Amino acid sequence: MPFGDVIDASGDPTVMINNGHCERYTDRAKLDFAQGGRAGISVFYAQPYALPHRLSYVERHPLGSQAFLPLSGAPFLVTVAHDISGVPDTPRAFLTHPEQGVNIHRGVWHGVLTPLNRAAQFAVVDWIGDRENLEEHHFQQAWLVYPQE
C-alpha cells in the first residue's frame, strides 16, 4: 500500500500457537526506523472528533514509521496524502474497522490521531530518539471530511 499498512487479523492465520489456542498473524506492518533512534511503544489518549472533520494540517515523520493500535475497539479516521515536492497533495480519508490498526509509512503525510465520537486509547509504535522527527504542513484552506453515505 502506498501510505502504510492495515494491521488486523484478516485472512488465514500464519500459524497456530499456544497449543492451538491462539492464531498468529505474522509481520502485519513494515516498521522502518532511522539510525540514531530505536523503536518505542507509547500510549496515547486522544480526544474525540466529529464528522464532518476539519483537516487544517497534516504531519509526517521522516525518521520512522508510526503504528497506531487502538486499545478501545473503536474505529478511527485516518487521513493521508502523497508528497509532491515537499508538500502534501490532496488528502484521502479512510475509516478503520473496530479491530484494525494502521502503520503509517516513514515520511507519509497524515492527519492527527482522530477517534470519532468518544475518546480512545492507542498503543503507538514509533521512532524514539533525540532528533526532531516531526514536520507539519498547514493548509491555506482546511479540507472537510464528510461521512460517506
Beta strands in the chain (DSSP E): 4-7, 15-17, 22-24, 37-46, 53-60, 66-70, 76-81, 83-84, 87-88, 92-95, 101-104, 109-110, 114-115, 120-129, 135-145
CA-closest candidate to residue 109, choices 56, 61, 53: 61
Are the CB atoms for 110 and 67 separated by under 8 Å? no
pLDDT tens across 109-124, in order?
999 999 998 999 999 9
So what's the pLDDT on residue 77?
Answer: 96
Q: How far apart are CA 149 and CA 137, in angstroms?
A: 29
Q: What percent of the chain has pLDDT over 90?
A: 81
For residue 48, what is the enclosing H or E element?
none
The whole-chain average pLDDT of the chain stands at: 93
Q: How far apart are CA 78 and CA 93, in angstroms?
A: 6
Q: Give the CATH number, domain containing residue 74.
A: 2.60.120.480
Where residue 149 falls among pLDDT bands split at 50, 70, 90? low
Indicate the number of domains in the chain: 1
86 is in which domain, residue-wise?
4-145
So what's the pLDDT on residue 9?
Answer: 87
pLDDT tens across 72-107, in order?
888 999 999 999 999 999 999 999 998 899 999 999
Q: How far apart are CA 93 and CA 109, in angstroms?
A: 12
- The pTM assigned to this predicted structure is 0.90
